A and B are shown apart, each in its own frame.
Chain A
Amino acid sequence: GEDVEQSLFLSVREGDSSVINCTYTDSSSTYLYWYKQEPGAGLQLLTYIFSNMDMKQDQRLTVLLNKKDKHLSLRIADTQTGDSAIYFCAESRGSGYSTLTFGKGTMLLVSP
């Protein structure tokens, strides 16, 4: 099965909060990431969290990590139409240039 799983689609209205969820299986994950991919473009690192943290906030973005349940979420406050994109959850195991394992991505559609 997949090591990192995400729901495939989320639709919200502009101004609402969006919550994108991710689960992972490897308890040795050290860093967990959220990347944003706009159509036809590469990936933009949004934020990341170290596995010994349970929350990280960066402007409109809030990352919550439940290490016991291996559950990661990304909350986008006051979602804008420009936030419409695919959001990838990823995890890395170990330290120093370790490779990333990605989920399949959640497509976020923000309607006016």
Chain B
Amino acid sequence: GAVVSQHPSRVICKSGTSVKIECRSLDFQATTMFWYRQFPKKSLMLMATSNEGSKATYEQGVEKDKFLINHASLTLSTLTVTSAHPEDSSFYICSASPPGQGGETQYFGPGTRLLVL
């Protein structure tokens, strides 16, 4: 159990376009999902906490107008990178916590590799 999927797994886009990444919890409902960004040879940095039915909570230094998060249902959160630039190229990973586990155990999606040309 506790499977989290992401789509697409990789995407290449032109500079200036917007890209939407989906994160789904397949076998559980998640009121809270998390979005991370991973740079090469670096750790994961939390970007934002996505809350179902309310606004996302962004970490310091993350532009909320650039990284739009929508958590429209208990199984789906989306991250839209608006007006993407080459420096936005990265590996984006989402996670979710199944209910009944105190919110302490996060299960991660397989990640989405974004390349902006």
Residues of A within 8 A of B (CB): 4, 30-31, 35, 40-45, 48, 88, 92, 95-105
Contact = CB atoms under 8 A, between A and B. Distances in A.
Given A88-B43, A99-B46, A102-B44, A42 B108 contact: yes
A104 B110 contact: no
Contact of A98 (B43, B104, B107, B110): B104
Contacts, number: 57
Given A102-B44, A104-B43, A42 B93 contact: yes
Given A42-B110, A45-B108, A104-B41, 12 more contacts: A40-B111, A42-B6, A42-B111, A43-B95, A43-B108, A44-B108, A48-B104, A48-B105, A96-B104, A97-B32, A97-B49, A99-B46
Contacts of B102: 95-96
16 contacts: A40-B113, A41-B111, A43-B93, A45-B108, A48-B104, A88-B44, A95-B102, A95-B103, A95-B104, A96-B104, A100-B34, A100-B44, A100-B106, A103-B43, A104-B42, A104-B43
B113 A97 contact: no
A31 B102 CA distance: 11
B103 A45 contact: no
